Amino acid sequence: MYDQPRLKAYQAQAEWGSTPSGTLSRGSASTNKLTVQAFEEKNDHWNAAADNSKILRGKNRFQIFCQPCHGARGFGDGIIVSRGFEAPPSYHSDALHKVSDEFLFAVISQGLLKMPRFESRISRDDRYALVSYIRFLQKEVEDDDEKRGGPGGEK
């Protein structure tokens, strides 16, 4: 029995043939690439400069899924921080202002570091709406800073 042919776990098996469509086998393309590809396919008729209905939908989804960690305005001061968790990055940092919409979409979908993946919990259209709302928040805070004379209200 020890020497008989057998399948070994986690090893490629030629006998199985091709995988069913829509599945990823071990060692295949990462889901991150697929997420960005899905974004680019949809991006032909979508952009972050969205209409009010998309921003309102994004705000609704943000309040449910993002606000507990990122806070109401995206500064990383959500309720979890007061409970002892590490603060997530602020959407208003220079680094997050410079990232692409595709990157934000991929992070919402696949997660990053301590952020969980939301691909199975938030529909694709709602993830697009979240990207629109995050860009809206960034612009809103930027406009507030300009009215006050600079970052933090300095004059």
Nearest-angstrom CA–CA distance, 23 and 4: 31
Question: Are the CB atoms for 65 and 129 separated by under 8 Å?
Answer: no
pLDDT at 68: 93
Nearest-angstrom CA–CA distance, 85 and 78: 10
Q: Which long-range contacts (CB under 8 A, 24 or more apart) does 118-126 make?
A: 118/65, 119/31, 119/35, 121/65, 122/61, 122/65, 124/38, 124/42, 126/57, 126/58, 126/61
The pair of three-digit structure tokens given for residue 32, joined into one six-digit string: 């991150």
pLDDT at 20: 62
At 70-114, the pLDDT tens digits run: 999 988 899 999 898 998 888 888 888 888 888 889 889 988 888
Nearest-angstrom CA–CA distance, 87 and 76: 6
pLDDT at 5: 77
CA angle (118 as vertex; 139, 116 as ends), nearest 5 = 95
Q: pTM score, two decimals? A: 0.64
Nearest-angstrom CA–CA distance, 48 and 51: 9
- Domain 30-149: homologous superfamily in CATH: Cytochrome c-like domain (1.10.760.10)
Nearest-angstrom CA–CA distance, 115 and 65: 11
In eight-state DSSP terms, residue 3 is T
At 115-135, the pLDDT tens digits run: 899 988 999 889 999 999 999
pLDDT at 155: 40
pLDDT band at 63 (very low <50, low <70, confident <90, very high): very high
Nearest-angstrom CA–CA distance, 32 and 9: 25
**pLDDT above 90 (res 59):** yes
The pair of three-digit structure tokens given for residue 147, joined into one six-digit string: 């009215």
